């Protein structure tokens, strides 16, 4: 069993395609398969700011992109996200951004994924549009798409009960 959210979902697609016999089930949550120029531009801006030493300022500026618009004033949720993100070293975050900035599409790998796959998308994800997750679900045979309403990119923190229920039912 393999599950991945965001960049983890991007990596999980590659792992499931490279080692299809080792993955019995796959869950991809709020992730991507094709580079989006809008997101690449944002990532380049964030990476530049991190390299210039503006980590906390940049984090504070972009936290609201990760949650549903109705949750952008939820102090506890934003603090949880901030704690999670700041637990990584600056070096690790920059390496993650570098990896995401590669002009890489995983669409060509989808035919090799054999595991039954659950693709989960938060309708209000400000980073990845519904059409991106629909393309992933369409490209992977034996997959199903679940769309969660009223939640953003950080759905595992915003609505853990829904994610847990979807994954439990799928497994």
Please give the DSSP secondary-structure letter assigned to residue 19. Answer: S
The model's pLDDT over 22-75, given as tens digits with 9 standing for 90+, comes to: 999 999 999 988 878 888 888 888 889 989 988 888 888 888 889 999 998 899
The model's pLDDT over 91-113, given as tens digits with 9 standing for 90+, comes to: 888 888 888 777 678 888 999 99
User: 50 by DSSP, 3-state: which?
Assistant: helix
Do residues 29 and 9 touch, judged by C-beta distance below 8 A?
A: yes
Model confidence at 14, pLDDT cuts 50, 70, 90, reads: very high
Q: How far apart are CA 28 and CA 30, in angstroms?
A: 7
Q: Which residues contact 18 (CB under 8 A, 6 or more apart)?
A: 109, 112
Q: How many CA atoms lie within 13 A of 85 on its CB side?
A: 22
Six-digit token string for 165: 């229920």
What's the average model confidence in pLDDT over 105-122? Answer: 94
| Strand-by-strand arrangement of the 143-148 sheet | 2-5, 26-29, 117-122, 143-148
Q: What is the pLDDT of residue 60?
A: 84
Q: What is the pLDDT of residue 40?
A: 84
Does residue 78 carry a pLDDT above 70?
yes
| 104 φ/ψ angles, rounded to the nearest 5 degrees | -125, 130
Instruction: Give whole-number Cα distances, 153 to 52, 82, 101, 112, in Å.
Output: 26, 14, 19, 27
pTM, 2 dp: 0.91
The model's pLDDT over 28-41, given as tens digits with 9 standing for 90+, comes to: 999 988 878 888 88
| 57 φ/ψ angles, rounded to the nearest 5 degrees | -60, -45
């Amino acid at each position: 069993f393999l599950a991945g959210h965001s960049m983890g979902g991007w990596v999980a697609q590659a792992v499931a395609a490279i080692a299809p016999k080792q993955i019995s089930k796959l869950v991809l949550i709020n992730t991507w398969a094709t580079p989006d120029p809008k997101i690449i531009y944002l990532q380049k801006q964030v990476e530049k700011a991190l390299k210039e030493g503006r980590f906390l300022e940049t984090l504070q500026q972009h936290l609201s992109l990760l949650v549903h618009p109705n949750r952008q004033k939820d102090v506890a949720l934003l603090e949880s996200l901030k704690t999670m993100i700041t637990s990584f070293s600056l070096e690790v975050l920059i390496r993650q951004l570098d990896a995401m900035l590669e002009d890489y599409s995983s669409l060509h790998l989808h035919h090799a994924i054999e595991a039954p796959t659950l693709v989960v998308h938060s309708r209000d994800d400000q980073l990845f549009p519904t059409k991106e997750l629909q393309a992933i679900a369409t490209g992977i045979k034996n997959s199903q798409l679940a769309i969660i309403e009223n939640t953003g990119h950080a759905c595992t923190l915003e609505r853990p009960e829904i994610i847990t229920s979807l994954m439990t039912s799928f497994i």
